A and B are shown apart, each in its own frame.
Chain A
């Protein structure tokens, strides 16, 4: 490759050094280069929110970032939240409340909510709706997602 970029990045606590095509999107880098396919791509134009990941603790759309833009930074994807045997409390609440159906948008919703709930651990229904208003879900009508967030916050707050 004539034009390359030497990317250094920490993803889910693990550091990676990779030589990539500089135009590689962050979403493609995570999915194809690192095999972290939990980050989904639904629209490639920053609207649907399925590709949301945490960049230095903040929610970002990985389909709107080039991988070199996260050089020397820390990325957290859905794979870094919890494991099948040890689900994150929010993941557990999602399961409990049937907050996912096809599950395609779910990783992006989780990665949107995790930093949000850190800042606002006791949101009202209206605030939860606003928090996830940038994440499209075609299956659930959002209601069970809202139930799940309430469930998770109740559990953490008791």
Chain B
């Protein structure tokens, strides 16, 4: 299908406000009479609270109140289970334990909230936080993913008889039989460690209860305003129409801003209703490192059985997944790991056991990638090792194992995060892989460049891995599109925006369908007053699920426009076209009517409306896919290691992405760049260091290193288009794709750069220090 607006590199409509400091973020909301909250957080990761003394804090002038769990009375209840385990899976153990607004008896991770101070200014509130005295009985901290399951281990939740949060097994085929036939079985242990999402904007919340209007207004830096509205109403005993949640411009989300409910989101609404004054809280960076969710920590023991020609016969996997102190987000992340542990390959036999454990660390929920990088990492690493053992060309082994293009839709027959069977809707992997090899200059590098550079004493290596990404899962999203009497279009969807350019990409869909300019479409995202139903921005699903809902609503408005115009212009419907804000007769361009005029006529002030019709040129539609759309791609890099400092320089970075139809290639490329930068962080820079007391040792941006412009390479992005068959736009998600394969490609390149050490990289993130250690360990062995 050829489009006029969709697929074009359209400049973003949201930019002028963002560029001039005129865009509203939560932190910018200042209301008259507003109070400020600051939280007393536990320094201990695991401790019993003996007593809390707030008396000194309360005496500080300007302090309005200091509240603890006890003060909340009946309003105190844990957060809701955000995601339950899939009902489609049998024999799942799931011990649901959810975060609490204020700690009552026992602290379960550092940074949990003991008390909240409300004051006339944030400065005073923070002064008062220092004066709240909490007497703790420190307890040993649960940190280690394996030790925590040993009998006699300290328990995070003492009402459970172990630290087991969940357990499940997924199986297809018969791995043990496949193993019997194998020529080679490789078994390795992988350590995948924790990182932070570290959006540049921390979380924040402004709440304002209007007692006369009986209405709660909320500004929240959240990825999912509608569920927040629904949940707040339910918790506070209000009806949904009494609560309006606005997620204005949000300064990056990357997953953690979808967590519902954070303790602060439970405490602040209660405070504003109690005090009948607006209350504001903006998370500071230090809090963000403890209180905002994190991800990636897993230990995996994985076994791959292969034939001697390199065909994967089966994979057996044991995953221990750390969920931190609570598990509100269910099994989404480990299920994603399973969904990606067979990569882009036709694997007939798969057996995977997931054990989820509670520890005294910050809660784990999806962070950009959401379990997928861990899956791709283990499968690609094992293939690399197999290629070495079997002395096979890694390119040939991939070619041999790719799911062939005629095998789609390909049903993996395991359950994925959407609770449905893991079906890859479409794919065409080999051409993407070949394109990446070509653009990276693989052959030339191996044959000429690398030997030449090695002769110069340079440690250069190449790594290239294919990957898949399950995207665009349900349940559904909605959109409302309306033509206003001005002829301009107003539209809304429930997915919030944290930089994904929704206001432009979705406007392009509407502009395409209604023949208007992109600038004439005003897209509201993340305001519950504009649309009632929706879930949120996550799982790379905006372009797929919300995008197709926008298309459905715009198409419906188009039908209404044509129907009405046909009557007024006395022309058959099929002779009409929409262009330049007008409906006109195809052959007689001067015979036309503007959309604005039609909008007025569609909403008559007098006279009779035809029975069975609705006023206005407006429509609200929903889209819910049966199963997701599977994007895929290939990332490759050439890197150089400074063997003295262990610093890395990425000399070339190539990606080939196939996300089906692109709404706006400029935006797609931006998403890839950003994804890769987080992926590079996950390779070599970003690791949260917890000590044996579950104390985080690098809780600042000075110590936790997110890539700067100096660490980032120039990224070449190439596109392939295999449209998604199950949605009209043919879109697949791309928000997380950039992050997923990076550590796997990096590890391959690093091993390739340092052949003299015969390194086997089985962990991520690494760091210069860690690489130094690994090299020296190898040297000691030999």
The residues of A with any CB-CB pair to B shorter than 8 Å are 21, 23-24, 31-32, 35-45, 47-48, 50, 77-79, 81-84, 87, 91, 94-96, 98, 100-107, 110, 125, 128-130, 132-146
Contact = CB atoms under 8 A, between A and B. Distances in A.
Given A44-B285, A102-B251, A95 B710 contact: no
A94 B15 contact: yes
Contacts of A143: 673, 712, 714-715
Contact of A83 (B20, B251, B666, B712): B20
B123 A21 contact: yes
Contacts of B667: 98
Given A38-B21, A42-B701, A141-B707, 7 more contacts: A45-B700, A94-B19, A106-B19, A135-B708, A136-B701, A142-B709, A143-B715
A132 B249 contact: no
B200 A50 contact: yes
A35 B30 contact: yes
6 contacts: A31-B28, A43-B285, A102-B200, A103-B249, A129-B709, A136-B708
A81 B11 CA distance: 20
A135 B706 CA distance: 11
Interface residues of B, number: 58
Contacts of B202: 42
A95 B12 contact: yes
Nearest to A91: B19
Interface stretch (B260-268, B495-503, B544-552): B495-503
B19 A87 contact: yes
A102 B17 contact: no
B16 A133 contact: no
A79 B200 contact: no
Interface stretch (B401-409, B584-592, B674-682): B674-682
A42 B499 CA distance: 16
Contacts, number: 183
A117 to B, nearest CB: 15
A129 B199 CA distance: 21
B702 interface: yes
Interface of B: 11-12, 14-25, 27-28, 30, 123, 198-202, 249-252, 254, 284-286, 498-501, 666-667, 669-671, 673-678, 700-702, 706-710, 712, 714-715, 738
A82 B14 CA distance: 15
Contacts of B706: 136, 138
B285 A45 contact: yes
Given A47-B700, A140-B674, A141-B674, A104 B252 contact: yes
A129 B710 contact: yes
A36 to B, nearest CB: 7
B250 A132 contact: no
Contact of B670 (A41, A132, A144): A144
Contacts of A81: 20
A141 B20 contact: no
Contact of A138 (B18, B252, B714): B252
Contact of A45 (B22, B671, B702): B702
A98 B12 contact: yes
A146 B709 CA distance: 9
B677 A138 contact: yes
A87 to B, nearest CB: 6
Contacts of A125: 714
A108 B99 CA distance: 35
A38 to B, nearest CB: 2
Given A40-B27, A43-B285, A94-B15, A101 B200 contact: no
Contacts of A137: 200
A132 B254 CA distance: 22
A103 B251 CA distance: 7
A4 to B, nearest CB: 13
Nearest to A80: B21
Contacts of B674: 101, 138-141
B700 A102 contact: no
Given A21-B123, A37-B27, A138-B706, A102 B498 contact: yes
Contact of A84 (B17, B201, B251): B17
B678 A79 contact: no
A50 to B, nearest CB: 6
List the 3 closest A-B pairs by CB distance, nearest first.
A38-B21, A104-B251, A102-B499
Given A84-B17, A101-B501, A133 B25 contact: no
B21 A36 contact: yes
A139 B198 CA distance: 11
B272 to A, nearest CB: 19
Contacts of B16: 84, 87, 91, 95
Nearest to B28: A37
A93 B23 CA distance: 18
A37 B19 contact: no
B637 to A, nearest CB: 13
Given A87-B16, A133-B708, A95 B27 contact: no
Interface centre among B24, B706, B738 (most CB of A within 10 A): B706
Contacts of B284: 44
Given A133-B709, A140-B674, A82 B19 contact: yes
Given A32-B30, A95-B16, A141-B673, A103 B23 contact: yes
Contacts of A50: 200
B249 A39 contact: no
Nearest to A36: B21
Contacts of B18: 100, 103, 106
B19 A100 contact: yes
Given A37-B27, A37-B28, A102 B20 contact: no
A37 B670 contact: no
Contact of A101 (B27, B30, B500): B500
A32 B674 CA distance: 31
